[in-house]
Chain A
Amino acid sequence: MSDSTVLLATYRELDHTADALDSLRALGIADSDITLMSSVPYSHAMLGRPAMKTVLPVISLVSAILGFGVGLFYTVGTPTLYPISVGGQPFVPGPPTALLLYEFTMLFLIVGTFLGMMWINLFPSYGLQYFTKRLTDGRIALLIHCQADQEAAMRAVLEATKAEQIENAERRPL
């Protein structure tokens, strides 16, 4: 591990960043060894990066199903435990039950999606991170994990693709 290094290069232009990514790939750097950071959500297609898979839709769906189940418990289960006769309605009346099932489903979907996003992104994360403040001012950053003996070649590629700044990345407080 001691012979590995992490480079942080910042770019002003998206085109130059995409060129850098192509060149790095040509040098044998895997996409998984490059982290891209930006102040706007550029799509993977713009950068020629592989599409990212996420389990967030699954989490949302499971949350919604869970919400439906909790709704069933409250609307069907509790009237059975505590029967209350209301206006000649059955203990489990159709329309109000449907309404509450809907509300519970949506509540769990929303909360589950948010918690899922937090979990997948490992938020909150207040430890030391590779980062540069220039990012939020519109720069695009490439974080490249490579072997120490590749560093010179990396730097040459990054300079050739008009990187604004190239530095050995250090973890720092955000």
Chain B
Amino acid sequence: MSIEMTVSHALPLEDSHEEESRKRHLLLDPRPQEEMNQMVMDSMHRTGVEFWIVMAVLAVLALGGFLGGWLYQIRFGMGVAGIRKPVFWGVYITSFVFWIGISHSGTFVSAILRVFKVEWRRSITRAAELMTSTSLLVAVAFLGIHVGRTWRGYWIVPYPNQRTLWPNFHSPFLWDEMAILSYFIGSSLYLLLPLIPDLAMARDHSEGWRYKLYRILSLGWRGTEAEWRNLTLSMTVFAFAIIPVMFSVHTIVSWDFAMTRVIGWHSSIFAPYFIVGAIYSGVSAVVNILFLVRWNMKLSYFVREEHFEAFGKLMLILSFGWTYFFFADLLTEWYGGEAIGHTVLDIQFYGQMHPFWTIMVVCNIVIPWLTLWNRKVRRTPIALFFVALAVNVGMFMERYTIVTGFLRRSRLPFNWGTYQPSIVEVGIAVGSVATFLLLYGLLSRVIPMIPVWEVREGQLTHVLRRFGRTKVTAVSEWE
């Protein structure tokens, strides 16, 4: 009798727990693959009038601000930019570092989580990987914009020539070139590899121009054992190879600064400081993009609160890491007691850089620490979206402070100066955001944003298994 009573009371509780688990976790809530394919295909076709209006506005900003500003600068020369002696690195280099940082999102979210077999990553890797490739394109453009005579960019390509000039491989700028080239090629191929089966899926569910496009892009994929074996093996090689390349990219970007004798830049802590900052801004940018993708493409089945919660935790941990390096860097300069070091710090605490420095501290430390400890905030996509947006504003200010702040003061006071970005620089910087969003928005309608096969694989390995009075998630090792 007592057993019967226990069972009769336990069943409804168990059912509700099971139902709740399925609602929360994508991998416990399987649907037929046909249905998932259709959801992804529908999301790519979802382009209403509003979408095209937004794209048109972004195109105007991209063409007017980014491309127009760049062409204007080419026509009238670098004098239209606000960079003057002694601040020769301004908004362009700030934007370059910022976009390189954003590009770390894809590799971090996709490769590192793949290597560590973090299961919740499955549905959101594509959105992050696509960010890497698009943001790298924008970042590289800033190098061309900054150097002025963009058309002579081929001078940094090593090839035998009559001038017997050869790129100087001792220079950090050449290291930059190599690291960014490796990272761009690597991350683009890393985007393409797991995309091939999804492009084949799109091919089999499309007609007209889309069919022709996907037929070419899917390379003749059929899903044979040999194809899968070689694809998954190359993805493993890529995942392990792209992580150190990712670290090397931002390390070398930091060495563009640290290899100089500029006060505040010449620091051995810059490499890890930049990497943590890059991952912090990259992960925050993934949250922003995921929110937009989920809302605009109606992909709430694939992108759930569990993903935002996980990203919220990651952001909190990364904010601790970033604050640690920020404080260590600050303390070393301050405690050293050198007059020039204090002069550089003073313009951040009280001087020209104070507003930017304050925004950085508020956005990178205060806002995340006040909000992200709260599970409800982490599980509310719109709330996390605004926290992530704040972090990205803060990270842009951090780069602006580092790039333009420290150049204003040097050991020789006659060489002190200031910096005011010109309208052309601001236009190009704002236009770069529009360019990124435009590229991403258009590509999201062509590239399947959810790796359906990876989600399916995850759903096959996750089950609810009874333990005592309740059911818990059990995960099988696929390989």
Contact = CB atoms under 8 A, between A and B. Distances in A.
B479 interface: yes
Interface in A102-133: 102-104, 106-107, 109-111, 113-114, 116-118, 120-127, 129-131, 133
A82 B170 CA distance: 13
A54 B233 contact: yes
Interface residues of B, number: 62
Interface in B161-216: 164-166, 168-171, 174-175, 178-179, 181-182, 185-186, 189, 192-193, 197, 200-201, 203-205, 215-216
Given A40-B457, A110-B242, A103 B203 contact: no
A106 B186 contact: yes
A40 B165 CA distance: 52
Contacts, number: 178
Given A78-B169, A79-B169, A103-B175, A110 B37 contact: no
Contact of A136 (B164, B205, B457): B205
Nearest to A112: B237
A157 to B, nearest CB: 20
B384 to A, nearest CB: 31
Contact of B169 (A43, A75, A118, A123): A75
B161 to A, nearest CB: 10
B20 interface: no
Nearest to B33: A138
Given A118-B219, A120-B230, A174-B220, A133 B225 contact: no
B456 A124 contact: no
Contacts of A173: 215
Interface stretch (A22-30, A31-39, A148-156, A158-166): A31-39
A138 B452 CA distance: 10
B443 interface: no
Q: What is the interface residue range for chain A against chain B?
A: 35 or more
A174 B203 contact: yes
Nearest to B192: A114
A159 to B, nearest CB: 23
A86 B230 CA distance: 45
A132 B242 CA distance: 35
Contact of A107 (B185, B215, B225): B185
Nearest to A111: B185
Contact of B166 (A81, A114, A121, A124): A81
A114 to B, nearest CB: 5
Contacts of A113: 234, 237-238, 241
B233 to A, nearest CB: 5
Contact of B222 (A42, A86, A118, A131): A131
Contacts of B245: 103, 106, 110
Interface string B212-253: 000110111111111111111110011001101100100010
A93 B171 CA distance: 11
Contacts of B171: 86
B248 A102 contact: yes
B170 A96 contact: yes
A18 interface: no
A75 B203 CA distance: 45
Contacts of B453: 39-41
Given A43-B478, A82-B166, A125-B220, A136 B201 contact: yes
Nearest to B165: A82
A135 B164 CA distance: 58
Interface string A75-90: 1001101101011010
A3 interface: no
Contacts of B186: 106-107, 110
Interface in A45-79: 49, 52, 54, 56-57, 60, 74-75, 78-79
Given A35-B225, A82-B166, A110 B231 contact: no
Given A110-B186, A121-B231, 12 more contacts: A39-B223, A41-B232, A43-B479, A78-B166, A81-B166, A89-B170, A107-B178, A107-B182, A109-B237, A136-B204, A136-B223, A137-B37
Interface of A: 35-44, 49, 52, 54, 56-57, 60, 74-75, 78-79, 81-82, 84, 86-87, 89, 93, 96-97, 99-100, 102-104, 106-107, 109-111, 113-114, 116-118, 120-127, 129-131, 133, 135-138, 173-174
Interface of B: 32-34, 37, 158, 164-166, 168-171, 174-175, 178-179, 181-182, 185-186, 189, 192-193, 197, 200-201, 203-205, 215-216, 218-234, 237-238, 241-242, 244-245, 248, 252, 453, 456-457, 460, 478-479
